[in-house]
Amino acid sequence: MAKDSDTVAQAKKVPIEPTHFSYTERDVIIYNLGIGATEKDLQWTYEGDDEFSALPTFGVVPQFMASSTLPLDSWLPDFNPAKLLHGEQFLSIKAPIPTSGELVNNARLFEILDKGKAAAVTSIVETRDKSGTLIFENHSTVFIRGSGGFGGARVGSDRGPATAVNAVPKRAPDAVVEEKTSSSQAALYRMSGDVNPLHILPEFAAIGGFDKPILHGLCSMGISGKHVFQKFGPYKDIKVRFAGVVYPGETLVTEMWKEGPSVIFTTKVKERDTLVLASAAATLVDGATKARL
C-alpha cells in the first residue's frame, strides 16, 4: 500500500476531542419512527412496553456528530460540503443498547485515500458508556468529489466485515420486504441528529446535483436493518455501501440471503428499479439464529 502523503500524515496526528451524547427514551422512539416503526410496533414506539428497545441501527446516532464534524476543510483541497457523499457505513454492536443514557465518543481518522477526482475519508468512532464499556464501533467512509490530488494511498486496507464485498448468492432471496417511505421521512429522520440541509433544502440539494432533497443514507440503512432484524433476529454488526439515492416517498425493497452466520442483503428503489444499498451484510448474534419468516 502506498505511503500516506505528508498532508494526510499530519491530518491523522491532529487530536480530536471526545464528544458527548445524552439521550432519553424519547430519542429512541424518534429514531425508531424515523426508520419506519409504527404505532403497531409497541416494542419500538411505546416506552412502557415490556420489550421496549432501540432498533439495532440506533448505534449510528450517538457517534454522528463525532464522525461528521471532522475538520476536513482545514486540509482537503477544494473542499465543498455539498459535494460530500456518504460512501459506506459499518456498525458493530458491542453490548446491549441502553434505552437512555450518557455516552462518550472518541473519533480518529483511520484512512484518507486519494481517488484522483475525489477523496475517500474513513473515520472510526468508539462509543462508550460512563463506566467505559464499549457499546458501539462505527466506521464511516465519505467521498468528497473534487477534493482529490493530494497524493498518497489510493487503495484501502482490509477491515474484515467492514470492507467485505458481500457478493449476492446466485439464487432467489430467502426473504424480501417492501416498505414505502413517507414524503416526510427525511424531515423526521433528521430529528435524530443529521441536519445536513441536503435532506431538507431544495436549493442546497440542487448544488449537490439532485433534483430535490434526498433521504439520508443512514435512514435507508436503518430501514433495511429493520427488515433484517424482523426476518432473521438480532445481529452484532451491519455494513452497507451507499450505491444510489432515495427520494422520500419512494418504496424500498430489501432482498435477503441467509449465508451461514450472516445475512447478505441488497436494497433497491422499486419505482426506478435502482440499487441503493450494495455490498451489504449483517452478522447474526450466535450465528445460527433461526429465520423468522
User: Is the domain of 106 the same as that of 188?
Assistant: no
**pLDDT at 151 (0 to 100):** 79
Give the residue from 148, 181, 209 where a domain finishes: 148
User: Is the domain of 171 the same as that of 144?
Assistant: no
For the CA atoms of the chain, what is the radius of gyration?
19
**pLDDT at 288 (0 to 100):** 42
Indicate which residues carry an active-site annotation.
194, 199, 214, 217
Spans of the chain, pLDDT less than 70: 1-2, 5, 287-293
Percent of the chain with pLDDT over 70: 96
Residue 92 belongs to some domain of the structure: yes
The distance from CA 187 to its chain's CA centroid, rounded to whole angstroms, is 17
- Report phi then psi at 278, rounded to 5: -135, 175
In the structure grid, which three cell numbers stand for residue 101, read together? 443514557
Q: What is the CATH number of the domain that holds 139?
A: 3.10.129.10
**pLDDT at 259 (0 to 100):** 97
Domain of 67, in residue numbers: 1-148
**pLDDT at 287 (0 to 100):** 58
Considering its fold, how many domains does the chain have in total? 2
- CA separation for the pair 217, 23 (Å, rounded): 22
H or E element in which residue 206 lies: helix 202-207
**pLDDT at 291 (0 to 100):** 45
**pLDDT at 146 (0 to 100):** 87
- Report phi then psi at 32, rounded to 5: -60, -45
Residue 162 belongs to some domain of the structure: no
**pLDDT at 69 (0 to 100):** 72
User: Is the domain of 113 the same as that of 7?
Assistant: yes
**pLDDT at 78 (0 to 100):** 82
**pLDDT at 2 (0 to 100):** 59
Mean predicted lDDT score pLDDT of the chain: 92
User: Is the domain of 108 the same as that of 6?
Assistant: yes
Residue 154 belongs to some domain of the structure: no
CA angle centred on 239, ends 283 and 179, rounded to 5°: 95
User: Is the domain of 3 the same as that of 118?
Assistant: yes
What is the model's pTM?
A: 0.93
